[in-house]
Structure 1
Amino acid sequence: MTLVALADRTRGLRGWSRAAVAVALGALAALAMAPYGVLPALVVAMTGAVWLLDGTRVKAPPLRVGLKAAAVIGWCFGFGFFVAGLWWLGAAFLVDNDEFAWALPLGVVGLPAGLALFTAASFVAARLLWSAGPARVLVFAAALGLGDYVRGHVLTGFPWNAFGMALGEHVLLAQFASVVGLYGLSVIAVALGAAPATTGDAAGLKAVWLPPAAAGLLLAALAAYGALRLPVGPVATVPGVKLRIMQPNLAQDARRFSYDNREPIMRHYLALSDGPDRALSSGASGVTHLIWPESAFPFILARNDEARAQIAALLPPGVILLTGAARSAPRLPGEITTRFFNALQIVADDGGITGTYDKVHLVPFGEYLPLGDVLQGLGLRQFVHVPGGFSAGSVHELLHAPGLPPVAPLICYEAIFPGAVVPAGDVRPGLLLNVTNDAWFGDTPGPYQHFSQARLRAIEEGLPLVRAANTGISAVVDPYGRMVASLPLGKEGVLDAALPSVIVPTPYSLHRDLLFAILIACCFLSRTVSDRREAMQNAEQEIVSGAHGDGI
C-alpha cells in the first residue's frame, strides 16, 4: 500500500473505527516518553493524527461538523496517550489497597479522560485553521504546544509528559530547551513528528517531500546545537563541597512506614548514611552535606529529640543534613486544627533545625483533597497519612544552607513545572535541590518520567540538579543535564559527588516563554502566508486560463 493510499484510507475512517485508531495512535505516542524514548513512535502517531484531521474536511462538511469530529479525534488521541503514559499512577492506589484500591479506575481512567480534554481543545483549534497544504503541520504543532502550555497552568497545572519530553528524554536534543523551554520543545517535537503527513498528499513529488526533508534538517540542527553546546569534559565544581545522598529504598505502606517502626527506620538511615566503615561519623569521608529524601520520617522531626540527637551523633562538626520532613505549625488564634507542611529542613551538627522550606505546589489527592470538606464527608482522604492533609507553603523561596550556594528547593513534583523552579528575585541559585519519594509507584515508568523532567529543568536553567529520591532515581546532574553520579531505581545505597558549578544564564532563564510565544505566532502565521501564496497561484492560473480562452 502506498503512502497516499494509506493516508486516504485513514482520512476515510468514521465512527468507532476512527475513534479506535485515534486511541491507538495516542497510546503509540506515549512510547516516545521516558523510559522508552522511541522517537519514531511519535512520528507515526502525529502523522496519523494529521491524516485523521484531514478526514474532517472531506467533501467540505459544515464547520460545526468538522469541529465536533476534531474534538472527538483529539479526545480519543489524548485518552490513549495519557492512559498509556500514566497507567503507573494506579500503583499508588495499591500501596494501601484495603483503603484505596476501589478508586484505582479514577486514577488510571478518570484522570486521562480529564486530561484528554486539553488535547481535544488543541485538535479543535488546529481544525479551525486547517488547510490542505503543508502549513497545516505547523498549525497542528502550534495548537498542541499551546495545549501543553495550558495544561501546565490551568487549575493546579499538570505538565507531565508534555510532547516536548520526546526530545527532552535525549540529552543531545534536549539542549535546545535552554532556549525555548519545554513548551517550545513540544511545538518542535510535534512538527517533527507530523511533517511526514504531507507524503500522503496527492501532489507533486517535490511538494510532498519538502516538509519531511525540512524536518530532517531541523532534527540535524537540534543535534548539532546540542553537540556544540555540550562541553567535552566535566564542568567545574564548587570548592569545598562534597555531597552524600542517601537512598533508603523504603516501602510506603501504612504498616511498614509507621510511627511504630520509627526506631528501625532511623537505624536504617543512620547505618546507610554512615557506611560500613563509619567514614561519615568519623569525618574520614570528607562529606560536607548529607541529603535525605522527601518525607523521610514517620514522625515530626522537630518534636523528636531522640531522632535529632541520633542525627547529631552521626554528623561530624561542620557537616549538615538537608532532609525532607513533615512539619507542624503552632495553631494560630481561632484555628481548631493543627496545620502540617511537607518541608525540606536543614539540620545542624548539634541536631538543631536551622532552616525550613515548606512545599508550595502540593499534589491534589496525594497531599490534600480539593473540596476537602465535601470529599471527606464522603469518606475520602489524601494518600499521605497526615490528618487533614498538608497545607501549602506561603512562598517559593531560596534556602540558605551553610557551605552551599543559594539552594532552589523542589519537593517532589515541584520539579516538573518549567519556569517555576527558581524563586523570584535577583539572587540566582547555585543548585536545584529536588527531594522526592516515588516509592508509591514502584518499578514503573513513573519514576523515570519524573527524573527526566527534573533533569530538563537543569538544562533550561543552566543549574546543577541534586536529587534525593527514596527509591530512586537519586542523582547529581550537571547544568547540561549530564549525569555526574546516580543510584538506580529500587536499590538502597549512598552516592558521593562534588557539586557542579552553575553556567551562564540560559536564554530561557532570561526570557522564559517569550521565545515559545514567538514560535507559536510564527507557526500560526505560516497559515496566513500559505493562504496568500495559494490565492496568488490561483489568480495567476485564472489569468492564464482567461488568456488562452481569449485566443491570446
Structure 2
Amino acid sequence: MKKNLILAIFSGLLLWLAWPPTQYLSFLLFVGLVPMLLAIENIILSTAKNKGKQIFAATFLGFFIWNTLSIYWVYNSVKMVGEIVAIPISLIPYSLGPLLMASACWLYFRLRVATNRSISLVGLVCFWIAYEYLHQTWPLAFPWMTLGNGFAVSHQYVQWYEYTGVYGGTIWIWVINILIFLFYMSLSEAKTKAYRTKIVIAFFAILVLPLGFSLTRYYSYQEQVNPSNVVVAQPNIDPYAKAAEIPVYQQLSILTHESDSLAQKNTEYFIWPETAIPTPFAEESIRSNNSYQQVKSFLNKYKNANVITGAETYKIYNSQQTETASPMDGGQFYDAFNSALSIENSENVQFYHKSKLVPGAESIPFASLSFLKPVFAHLGGAAGSYGRQAEPSVFYSQSGIGSDPVICYESIWGEYVGQAVLKGAQFIAIITNDGWWENTSGKDQHLDYAKLRAIETRRWVCRSANTGISAFINQRGDIVKHTGWWVRTAIKQDINLNSDLTFYTKHGDYIAKIGTFLALLGMMWILVRIRFR
C-alpha cells in the first residue's frame, strides 16, 4: 500500500508543477496521471481486500495534494475570520474536488470488475468528465480545477478549444496518459511488438496532430479589422477598505482620473472593476443617485463613450418574487445583486446581475439546509445575500456594439460566456476584484483562464481588476497589454470587434454532456452487474 500511496503523491506533485501559473511545464500534464493509473492497477491486481477503499484513499490523497497546492490561496480569502476557523473552511474547496475525482476512479474500479480494461479506461474518461461537468453545474460549483484549464499558460497548444472548449483538453490529457500507461503495462505483460507499435503510433498521432493543428491555427489566425478604442481602469483600492473607509465619490474620482489620463475623443468604452460603486443603491432610483450623476458628468466629455462598471444594487418588491428575496419592514422584500452597469450619454441604463455566484460568499449551497449558513458565513462576502439572473446579458451601445459583462468568478464558465456571444456580444468585458487573494497565484490563474475564453469565442477580452491584474487579451489568447499587481493605473487598446461564431460558441459543452450521458450508462451497467452477481 505504501508504494501505491507514493505513486499517488507523485502524481499529485506532477499535476501541481504543470498547473498555471507555472510556465514551461504544461507538458507534465501528459504524464501526471500515469503514476495514479499505476497505483490503481497495482491495487486491482493485488490480493488485498477492500480494493475499492484502497483505490479511493490513494487517489484522494494524490488529488488532494494537487488541489491544495494549486489553490492554496483560497485560505487568504477567509483568514480574516481567524486561523482556527479559516483552516477548516478552506478544507471544503481543497477536499470537495478530490472527493469527486476519487469517486470517478472508484467507479473505474467497479467497471473494471464488470468488464475488461479497455472498456473500463474509456469509462474512466467519461466518469472524470461527468465529475467535471457536475462540479460546474451543482450548487457547490467550482470548476477551477477542470483539467483542460491546465493549458491556460500554453494557449498556443489549444487553439482548437474554439471547437471543443476546455473539455477537449481534458480528453487530450487523459488519452495521452492512458496510452503511456498501456505502453508501460505492455512491457511487463509481454505484449506483442505489434501491440506496442500500435500504442506508439496512436500516442504520436494523438499528441502531434492536435498540437500541429493548433500551432498552425495560432500563427495563421488573422483578426478582422474592426477597431474600437477601450480604456480599462485599475483603481487599486484595498477591498477591505472599499465599503467603509473610502467615500464612494473619492473612489469614483480615482476611476475618472485614471480613465481621463488615457482617453481619446474616439474612446468608446471605459471599463471599471467589480463593485467599483460599493454603496448599494436601488435600481429603480438610479437616475437620482449621486454616483450615477458623477459618472454621467465624466461622460459629458466623451459623447460616444460607455462606462461598464461594477456596482452593488438592489430591487424592492411588494411580495416575495424570488427565492433569494429577503423581508423588509412594511411587508416588502428586496434582492441584493452583484451587478454590472452600462451607462452612456443618454437616459438608458443597462443592468446585469451576476449569475454564477461564489458558493458560501455570495450564495448558500442547498439553501434549504439552514445549518450550512454559519459554515459559509465568512467566505469573503455577505453569505447567501445575493440574487441572480438566470441567463447572461449583452450590453448594447448607442452605436450597436454588443459587449458581454462577465463578473469575476463567471469567467471560468466557457459555455456561459459563449451564450452571451451567441446573443451578439462582440467583445468580453471581465470586471473583477482579486484583492481578496492577495499577491498569490490565484490572481494569475484567474487571468490565465480568461485567455481560454478568448480562444473559445474568438473575442477580445478587456479585463478590469480592482487591484490587478488588468489586461487586454486578443482573439488568439495573447495578453497584449497588462498592468502590474497593486498598482493604480489605466491601460488603453484598440481592440477588434468580432461577430463570427465559433463551433464551440454554437454548441457549448457538448463534450461534457455526451461524456456525462455515457458515464450514467456506465454506472447503470455497474449496478446491473452488482445486482445479478
What TM bracket, shorter-length normalisation? 0.7 to 0.9
User: 1:73 offset after TM fit, Å?
Assistant: 2.3
Counterpart of 2:475, as a letter, is: P
What does residue 528 of structure 1 align with?
Answer: none
1:71 aligns with 2:67: no
What does residue 52 of structure 1 align with?
Answer: 39
1:266 aligns with 2:252: yes
What does residue 529 of structure 2 align with?
Answer: none
What does residue 476 of structure 1 align with?
Answer: 472
Structure 2 counterpart of 1:221, from 206, 209, 212: 209
Contact 2:272 2:309 survives alignment (8 Å): yes
1:427 aligns with 2:423: yes
For 1:304 and 1:383, the matched residues in 2 are separated by: 33
Residues 331 and 511 of structure 1: is their aligned pair in 2 closer, same or farther, counting only changes over 3 Å? closer
For 2:18 and 2:175, the matched residues in 1 are separated by: 14
What does residue 174 of structure 2 align with?
Answer: 190
Q: What is the root-mean-square deviation in Å for CA atoms of aligned residues? A: 3.3
1:391 aligns with 2:378: no
Alignment of structure 1 residues 67-466 onto 2, 5 Å = 67-94=52-79, 97=80, 99-130=81-112, 138-201=122-185, 202=188, 203-204=190-191, 207-208=195-196, 210-211=198-199, 214-230=202-218, 232=220, 235-239=223-227, 241-253=228-240, 255=241, 257-258=243-244, 260-275=246-261, 280=263, 284=264, 286-300=266-280, 302=286, 305-315=289-299, 316=301, 317-333=303-319, 335-336=327-328, 338-349=334-345, 354-370=349-365, 371=367, 374=370, 378=374, 381-383=377-379, 389-403=385-399, 405-423=401-419, 427-466=423-462
Provide, for residues 438-475 of structure 1, a one-character-per-residue CA deviation record: whole Å limited to 9, x for no partner. Answer: 11112211122222222212222233322211122322
The normalised TM-score by structure 1 is 0.80
For 2:415 and 2:490, the matched residues in 1 are separated by: 30
SS at match of 1:171: helix
Contact 2:272 2:307 survives alignment (8 Å): yes
* Greater RCO, 1 or 2 (C-alpha within 8 Å, sep 6+): 2
SS at match of 1:155: coil
1:22 aligns with 2:8: yes
Residues 154 and 260 of structure 1: is their aligned pair in 2 closer, same or farther, counting only changes over 3 Å? closer
For 1:388 and 1:156, the matched residues in 2 are separated by: 13
SS at match of 2:144: coil
SS at match of 1:230: helix
What does residue 496 of structure 1 align with?
Answer: 492
User: 1:318 offset after TM fit, Å?
Assistant: 2.8
Residues 77 and 406 of structure 1: is their aligned pair in 2 closer, same or farther, counting only changes over 3 Å? same
For 1:211 and 1:397, the matched residues in 2 are separated by: 47
User: 1:179 offset after TM fit, Å?
Assistant: 1.7
| Unaligned segments of structure 2, at least 5 residues | 321-326, 522-533
Provide, for residues 389-436 of structure 1, a one-character-per-residue CA deviation record: whole Å limited to 9, x for no partner. Answer: 222235422222333522222111111112122347973321222211
Provide, for residues 18-56 of structure 1, a one-character-per-residue CA deviation record: whole Å limited to 9, x for no partner. Answer: 335424422431222210152343344311011001112
The normalised TM-score by structure 2 is 0.83
| Unaligned segments of structure 1, at least 5 residues | 1-13, 526-552
User: 1:377 offset after TM fit, Å?
Assistant: 7.6
For 2:374 and 2:515, the matched residues in 1 are separated by: 46
Counterpart of 2:171, as a letter, is: V
Residues 386 and 197 of structure 1: is their aligned pair in 2 closer, same or farther, counting only changes over 3 Å? closer
Residues 418 and 54 of structure 1: is their aligned pair in 2 closer, same or farther, counting only changes over 3 Å? same
User: 1:138 offset after TM fit, Å?
Assistant: 4.8
SS at match of 1:421: helix
SS at match of 1:151: helix
Residues 160 and 378 of structure 1: is their aligned pair in 2 closer, same or farther, counting only changes over 3 Å? closer
| Bigger CA radius of gyration | 1
SS at match of 1:299: strand
Provide, for residues 216-235 of structure 1, a one-character-per-residue CA deviation record: whole Å limited to 9, x for no partner. Answer: 33222122111232254751
Q: How many pairs does the alignment contain? A: 498
Residues 491 and 209 of structure 1: is their aligned pair in 2 closer, same or farther, counting only changes over 3 Å? farther
Provide, for residues 203-227 of structure 1, a one-character-per-residue CA deviation record: whole Å limited to 9, x for no partner. Answer: 2556446535533332221221112
Counterpart of 1:270, as a letter, is: T
Contact 2:361 2:383 survives alignment (8 Å): no
